[in-house]
Structure 1
Amino acid sequence: MNSIHNGELDLNLLPVFDALIRVRNVSRAAHELNMSQSAVSHALKRLRLFFGDPLFLKTGSGMQPTPRALELLDPVLSVMGTVRGELLVREGFDATVAQRTFSLCLTDMGELIFLPRLISKLRQAAPHCTLRTLQVPVHQIQGVLESGEADLALGSLHSVPEGLFQQQLFMRSFVTIVNRRNRKVGDSLTAEQFFDMEHIVVSLSGRREDSYDSVIDHVAGPRRVYLTTPHFLTVPIIIEENPELIATVPRELATKFASYKSIKMVDTPVKVPSFAIRQHWHPRVQHDAANIWLRRQVKEAFDTVPE
């Protein structure tokens, strides 16, 4: 073991470390690297022998890196970033034969809005690639992108972490959803009703000030908030059972919620500015051929979305 540990590291093992630190799963890493699971397991065994550390431990949520693996993260990602960004960029990315998993940071709202259109496009353009989504608190997004665990973050970030690249995809506006059984609300909602009724707001952090529609409180004054939740998709179900509650959500999401027979959309009776939906990525993949290709697919998928 000492002779292996003191010998030269086989650089062919670094892509295995890179894949495992990102996808946290041996079978997914093998698929991405176009290797067998046994070959990835063998490479991991050699990495463990060389560094004298387990590096990754099996848990219920996947292969979790040890403190030693986290120490190795930056230098390994730096080497892999150089290989991808400077040595292999000329080779481009052949989506027709590539086998890898693209990982996206998305909220449940993002999955509903982005995934159907994106899946349709990627299944045709990259038939052997797959997708994985992660729901990550805003303050952790930079670290997830930097580590390579995610390729892109899609959505509306109130405060974009410093150092990330971003590209606007389209603009969206807010509307309010109410229960059709609420006899106090007709085809429109007055400002007086809006501020008198109790609201549901969505905040990934659980703090009201971080809610997606917090701009309303800033431009029009505080509302009566009854429920703060991290989940968009539970909102129409809650309003269906509680007709006295209302919520203000992005228009595209409200359109989907209107499929509930008890839910209807009305214009938000206060002037609320539109907001931008963007894709974000880390500088280390700015010149990565696969990431460049993925960003282009995302941009093209939503270029035709009406304002």
Structure 2
Amino acid sequence: MKSADLNLVTHFDALISCRNVSRAAEQMQLSQPAMSAALSRLRRLFNDPLLVREGAQWKATARALELHRTFAPILQQWQAATAPREEFSPASSKRVISIYATDYVQFTVLPKVVARVAQEAPHMQLRVFPARLQHGLSMLETNHVELIAGYYPEPAPNLRARFLFEEPTVCLMRAGHPSLERPWNLNAFLRYKHIDLAAHTRYFSERIDRALEGLGRSRQLAVTLSSYLACPHVVAASDMIATLPSSVANALARSTGTVIKEVPISLPALSVSLYWHERYQTDQGHAWLRQVIGDIF
């Protein structure tokens, strides 16, 4: 009996990691027909569809995920052992590294990081992707991005994380808001409609709602925004109240004519960490950028 082509292992890894035939072909530097042919061979080999379409997306089957958990560590060890032992030089590197982040994280993290990278690695390029609904850490799993900065409380076991910083949240309302004429307390906080932020995850918003539920209270949401930086402008044009990071509120309060107040309930600080897939753990260029970002914060 003819043995299976071991090259199919790398095709399989790319297909299940990317969960997209075109993306896998691009990663492997193959044509799409060649990757489609590899998928057909893998399907016959394992007697399983491996990837199935659900709407506009590809989903890995249970069998594919089980096989990938077995093969991926072996492949990564092989790649690490056979990779060229070239020392990474920031000054000459032309590496392109993709980062996924909300506009809040871009606002707080990127100015310092870009300035440092431009100075020490002038030929390196950072490609930033905005946060979107139903995306997140899965972007690392599928290798669409190499780094994610944000708040994700339960990363998968094959992801690494490094804490960057935390900051308090504050309430924001327009100047002349009716609540400013009364004592500021929980009742005043809940008397008006609220803006919900970070629609792509809602992790921190859920903390607010759970804290209120513990007090037997709730807020009425009127608008859900995915942009932290747009929020103060929406607040300035309405009687709605927003709870958002203090850095954003302080930076835009004067230009938007908004007023900052303390949050009248006990909330944990908003925490931001850096996340990456295990596949990049020993990558020298990747590790250099992680260290730069970690040093800054």
TM-score when normalising by structure 1? 0.68
Other-structure match for 1:119: 114
C-alpha contact (below 8 Å) 1:206/1:228 kept by paired residues: no
TM-align CA RMSD: 4.5
Question: How far is the alpha carbon of 1:121 from its aligned partner?
Answer: 1.9
Among 228, 232, 240, the residue aligned to 2:236:
240
Q: Which runs of structure 2 are paired with 1:37-186 in the superposition (5 Å)?
A: 81-82=76-77, 85-88=80-83, 90-124=85-119, 125-137=121-133, 140-157=135-152, 159-163=153-157, 164-185=159-180
Distance 1:50 1:148, change over 3 A: closer
Distance 1:264 1:187, change over 3 A: farther
Distance 1:284 1:9, change over 3 A: closer
Question: How far is the alpha carbon of 1:21 from its aligned partner?
Answer: 5.2
Matches of 1:8 and 1:285, distance apart in 2: 23
Q: Which runs of structure 2 are paired with 1:8-23 in the superposition (5 Å)?
A: none
Distance 1:108 1:209, change over 3 A: closer
Q: What amino acid is aligned across from residue 107 of structure 2 in structure 1?
A: L
Q: What amino acid is aligned across from residue 276 of structure 2 in structure 1?
A: W
Question: How far is the alpha carbon of 1:133 from its aligned partner?
Answer: 1.6
Matches of 1:127 and 1:179, distance apart in 2: 44
Q: What amino acid is aligned across from residue 160 of structure 1 in structure 2?
A: E
Question: How far is the alpha carbon of 1:123 from its aligned partner?
Answer: 2.0
Question: How far is the alpha carbon of 1:210 from its aligned partner?
Answer: 5.3
Among 261, 265, 268, the residue aligned to 2:260:
265
Question: How far is the alpha carbon of 1:179 from its aligned partner?
Answer: 0.4
C-alpha contact (below 8 Å) 2:21/2:36 kept by paired residues: no
Q: What amino acid is aligned across from residue 192 of structure 2 in structure 1?
A: M
Q: What amino acid is aligned across from residue 290 of structure 2 in structure 1?
A: R
Identity of aligned residues (%): 18
Q: How many residues align?
A: 277
Matches of 2:204 and 2:170, distance apart in 1: 19
Among 279, 285, 290, the residue aligned to 2:280:
285
Distance 1:208 1:200, change over 3 A: farther
Structure 2, unaligned runs of 5 or more: 42-55
Q: What amino acid is aligned across from residue 197 of structure 1 in structure 2?
A: Y
Question: How far is the alpha carbon of 1:253 from its aligned partner?
Answer: 1.6
Q: What amino acid is aligned across from residue 143 of structure 1 in structure 2?
A: S
Q: Which moved more, 1:71-80 or 1:194-203?
A: 71-80
Among 275, 279, 299, the residue aligned to 2:294:
299
Render the CA deviation track for 1:191-232: whole Å, top value 9, x for unaligned. 331122221122425879954644542555533323241423
